[in-house]
Amino acid sequence: MKHQTSYLALALTSAFALPAQAQVAATNKAAATTERIEVTGSRIKRTDLAGASPVTVISAEDIALSGFANVEEILQAGIGNAGRSVEGNESSWTQGANTINLRGMGENRTLVLVNGKRVPQFPTATGGTTNFVDTSTFPSSAVERIEILTGGASAIYGSDAVGGVVNIILKKDYQGTRLNLRHENPQHGGRDKSKLALTTGFDSKFGQTVLVVDYSKDEMLRGGDRTLTSGLGPDNTDTYSTTTAYIRDRSKVFHKDEYVMANQQQCQQLFGDYGVWLENESRYKCRYNTNRDEGMQTAKDDWNLILNQHGELNDQWAFNALLQYGDKTTDRGNAQKSISPTIFMDRNNPGRYSYNAADFAASREFRLYRRLDDYGQQRDYTGKQKNLTSSLGVTGQLGDYELELSWAYGKSDYTRQGRNQMKADQLLKLISFNPADATNPAKWYPMNPLTAAQRDQLYGETLTDAGSGLNQYSAVLTGDWFDLPAGPVQFAASAEWAKEWYFDFKDADTLSGNLLGQGGTQGEGGRKRYAAAGELALPIFGADAATGQLDASLALRYDRYDDKSDVGGATTPQLGLTWRPHSDILLRLSAGRSFRAPDLHRMYAGLSRSFAETTLKLDPNHPVGLSDSYESISAGNIALTEEKGHFVNLGLVANLTDDTSLTLDLWRISLDGAVYSESASRILANPSYNQTAGFKSCNDLPGIGYIMQQPSGQTYQDLLCVRRGTINSAYEASQGIDVELSFQQDLAGFGKLKLTPKASYLLKKEYQAYAGGERVEETRDNYLPAWKAEMSARWSLQDLSVNLSWYYLGTAEGWNNWVQKDAAGKEVQTQVWSKLAAYQRVNLNASYDFDQYGEVTLGINNLADQMPPLYPVGHPNRNVYPYFEEDAGYNTVGRVFYLGYEYKF
């Protein structure tokens, strides 16, 4: 059996295609050979490229000519990525990871595949709750193409395919050896990037082998490296941090003043260049510049090895195998750690300290504010990630049908080291608020620097040890079932079994709260999944019919979850229609249901405790105005069910001329029962959450709820505890229009020109946290740009090519509470609508192939040196660091020059 690679240059693909490599299956029938291809969105091989759902194809050449060096960059710049996404620097919990958010439905609702198979999720959850797949795992040097299906596809793939599917297809058929070198240098300094890749492919008795070795190194970009983020905001009205070094001695036990502030000499001694002395300030004269060290882009050191093998076992059967190993180290910049604990001293035994006043019969209260520059190092957090992805499959003829059996296994391990923490228990042993102890080496008076011995005693680190994994078996049977007048009815039947798991552990000090100002939760869990699915491709009218060619596709899938959640089973149908009234015109419709099983961390997250107060009168006899203190517990919720979605897409594909094609799609996606983190106030306001009758402790509650208590001698009940968590209550929907135009022209002796403009317009993006709650329209209320566009212009003449790529992010609108003055001059808060300006980047590069000397590429990314748009004057965030909307597609690197070189062996 012989296979050839199809590049699918036009995005005219079937809405239902296997997430595996697009191939051309050569089938000998009589004297003719008919090509059949597989495309993301269906398991049925088809004889045409046009399909019922929109699929965009990004080739390896597209990535190279775009100016971007990485998969994650081109995915996030694409028009399908319509919402907030993780951009490598979101937080220290997920540093170095990237996501794509198709249709704005959430990064966890975009299914990411590699060679058509699932890969493990990132070990830790973004925001501490949401699991996702890291799109930066595979280097661009190993990628043959990326197929992006926008819209639901759960009837083919099961969970997660709500906003769409991204299928990263790796190089399979490759001959020769190439060495690629690239270096990027930003005009404003910082964030240099270097990349080296060796790709080789050869034939042997074992078949075709492709081997890729890739190394990349990215420097960190800090807030101090850019004018926008190094100062005090656009209007210079932001303030340096007041948390430097001072003591609040409430009862003036050891000081004549309640506030004991660092003087100018101490400010300089403790904080050096980071200290800022403001003489005109009445109290907080010693300030601290936190912007300098804050990380804007994470440093990365990344190794990847990819081995892709395929060959023939005999005339009827072929095999394929993939092995990928990645080793990535990241460093995320943070401002220096600050602490501000309240500490009580035993009034009857001065020198004894505790964080709890109840430990003493009588106490004195102090509060310590201190920046921890004493450790002598920057507070960079280091993450180390190791990834393994593997798969093995065989494909062959079983009578008149084709059978594919495959196994996929992957795991990801992630550790994180958070520096410059302070141990709370050791601080109580060393602290002294008595200035008489300033010279006592056994005590630390906070206005003094720490000694080396004191640093060693107090120093702590927050540590994460996390991992995730996936093991999956699948079988797919495809072929022609029977004939109709218009042609054969094709089918695909598939079955899957999968197991996935994760763990996210923290060190004992972090979990116990022994690191001042540092929290964290951990969790561990897994689940098994069984699935069966079927598809039909029905030719209703042939191409010679008076009405034109009409085809239908049907898909149905059932997933059964074997875990502790309330998902059970999920059935998802899908329908597709394509109609060709003319050979150059295709009308298409796809519609169906989608679903997403709950995030593992949302189900299995461990307990996190804190204390809070409420003035709600849960017992009518509770005294008016008396606050009720309670223990607040946050944990996973195993009672979650699946999120249920619906989608529809109506499109047009037209070949306007031999050189020009148009694609137009109108789409809508909605989701019911989306997860929402229920707040304590809403829990307490709902009597159905009262679990007092059945439980004595919130530790024992299986889900969210609260428990009352009535202490002995008290005439009313008060609140004992509340258990918070996530529930299935939210509604989310997105709808819009996509348009793409492709034009290419042979300019005779002046080369060739190709233009590909694309645009997406969000008509509406809605979110409602719970029934009866406010429905937010994010393009109007929450600064989500409605317009997103891109265009590539490519001109080539013999060995020379010039490429220009334009990326556009439209204006963004939203409402905020602004502080304004009323007619009487009094400051009041009012809701004000405002708009962010549009943002655009232009990448320009030129390549020349010197034949035996290799190919050289010179490029400039962000040619106009565009920075993120600023909030309007008066906006509450205009002068609040980082002074722009984060994780929204904006970039602070600025203009970047790069040089690339490719040598062919």
For 649-701, how does the pLDDT look when each residue is reduced to its tens digit (9 = 90+)? 999 999 999 999 999 999 999 999 999 888 888 899 899 999 999 999 988 88
Q: How many CA atoms lie within 13 A of 93 on its CB side?
A: 19
Q: Is residue 763 part of a domain?
A: no
How far apart are alpha carbons 453 and 430 in whole angstroms? 11
Specify the residue for token string 């034109």: 548
pLDDT digit string, tens, across residues 492-539: 999 999 999 999 999 999 998 899 998 888 999 999 999 999 999 999
pLDDT digit string, tens, across residues 416-444: 999 999 999 999 999 999 999 999 999 99
Please report the pLDDT score of residue 358 as a whole number: 87
H/E run at residue 429: helix 424-430
pLDDT digit string, tens, across residues 380-426: 999 999 999 999 999 999 999 999 999 999 999 999 999 999 999 99
Residue type (1 letter), 10: L
Mean pLDDT of 736-743: 97
How far apart are alpha carbons 418 and 332 in whole angstroms? 10
Q: Is residue 634 part of a domain?
A: no
Give whole-number Cα distances, 248 to 252, 256, 369, 435, 851, in Å.
Answer: 8, 11, 8, 13, 73
From the CB of residue 278, how many other CB atoms can be counted at a distance below 10 Å? 14
Q: Residue 728 forms beta bridges with which residues?
A: 675
Kindly report the backbone phi and psi dihedral angles of residue 433, in degrees, each rounded to the nearest multiple of 5, phi listed first.
-95, 5
Q: Is residue 739 part of a domain?
A: no
Q: Give the residue numbers spanning the domain of 273.
A: 240-289+338-371
Please report the pLDDT score of residue 199 as a whole number: 97
93: pLDDT strictly greater than 60: yes
Q: DSSP per residue over 584-625, as a string? A: TEEEEEEEEEEEEPPPHHHHHB--EEEEEEE---SSTTSPTT
Q: Residue 812 forms beta bridges with which residues?
A: 836
Specify the residue for token string 């094609």: 661
Give whole-number Cα distances, 624 to 621, 628, 632, 676, 716, in Å.
Answer: 9, 11, 22, 32, 12
In the chain, what are the helix, strand and coil shares in percent, each to the nearest 5? 10, 50, 35
From the CB of residue 264, how many other CB atoms can be counted at a distance below 10 Å? 12
Q: Where are the beta strands (DSSP E) in 187-298?
A: 193-204, 207-218, 221-222, 245-249, 259-261, 275-277, 286-288, 295-297
pLDDT digit string, tens, across residues 245-304: 999 999 999 999 999 999 999 999 999 999 999 999 999 999 999 999 999 999 999 999
User: Does residue 101 contact residue 163 with C-beta atoms inside 8 Å?
Assistant: yes
738: pLDDT strictly greater than 70: yes
Q: Is residue 836 part of a domain?
A: no
Query: Across the chain, how many H-helices and E-strands are there?
Result: 11, 47
Residue 456: which residues within 8 A CB-CB, separation 6 or more?
A: none
Please report the pLDDT score of residue 50 as a whole number: 65
23: pLDDT strictly greater than 90: no
Please report the pLDDT score of residue 213 as a whole number: 98
pLDDT digit string, tens, across residues 30-40: 333 456 778 88
Please report the pLDDT score of residue 565 as a whole number: 85
More confident residue, 6 or 66: 66
Q: What is the mean pLDDT of the chain?
A: 92
- Maximal CA-CA distance, the chain: 103
pLDDT digit string, tens, across residues 818-852: 888 888 888 888 889 999 999 999 999 999 999 88
7: pLDDT strictly greater than 70: no
H/E run at residue 406: strand 401-422
481: pLDDT strictly greater than 90: yes
Q: Is residue 281 part of a domain?
A: yes
Please report the pLDDT score of residue 27 as a whole number: 35
Question: Total domain count for the chain?
Answer: 1
Q: DSSP per residue over 125-151, as a string? A: -BTTTB----TTSS-GGGEEEEEEEES
Q: Is residue 665 part of a domain?
A: no
Give the pLDDT band of residue 49 (cuts 50, 70, 90). Answer: low
Please report the pLDDT score of residue 35 as a whole number: 61
Q: Is residue 142 part of a domain?
A: no
Residue type (1 letter), 325: Y
Among residues of the chain, what percentage have pLDDT more than 90? 80
Please report the pLDDT score of residue 6 as a whole number: 34
Q: Is residue 271 part of a domain?
A: yes
From the CB of residue 865, how many other CB atoms can be counted at a distance below 10 Å? 14
How far apart are alpha carbons 139 and 142 in whole angstroms? 6
How far apart are alpha carbons 636 and 606 in whole angstroms? 6
Length of the chain: 905
How far apart are alpha carbons 159 and 111 in whole angstroms? 8
Residue type (1 letter), 479: G
How far apart are alpha carbons 715 and 696 in whole angstroms? 19
Please report the pLDDT score of residue 15 as a whole number: 29
In b/e form, how buried is each residue of 302-327, taking b as 16+ CB within 10 angstroms? bbbebbbbbebeeeeebbbbbebebe
